[in-house]
Amino acid sequence: MSHDEHEMMVEYSEMTAFNFNSKEYQEVKQDFIECKETAQGFDWFVNNFVSRFRKAEAL
């Protein structure tokens, strides 16, 4: 078995053995969700702010 094949087997075994119910994973998942929601809120704010200037330029 070549080095690359061995690495692939190790990575595959790590992925299949991963516990999605673990406390660590749940904390990371929650952090991700919070960051995503914050980014969406910021995106909405920026788009809303910029759209006001576009409307003013059109007048």
Place 58 in a pLDDT band, splitting at 50, 70 and 90.
low
Cα–Cα distance between 31 and 36 in angstroms, integer?
9
The domain containing residue 30 runs over which residues? 20-59
* In a domain? residue 13: no
Phi, psi of 20 (to 5 degrees): -75, -10
* In a domain? residue 12: no
21 membership: H or E segment, kind and range: none
User: How many domains does the structure of the chain reveal?
Assistant: 1
Q: What is the pTM of this model?
A: 0.56
* In a domain? residue 6: no
Query: pLDDT tens digits for 22-52?
Result: 999 999 999 999 999 999 999 999 999 999 8
* In a domain? residue 27: yes
* In a domain? residue 7: no
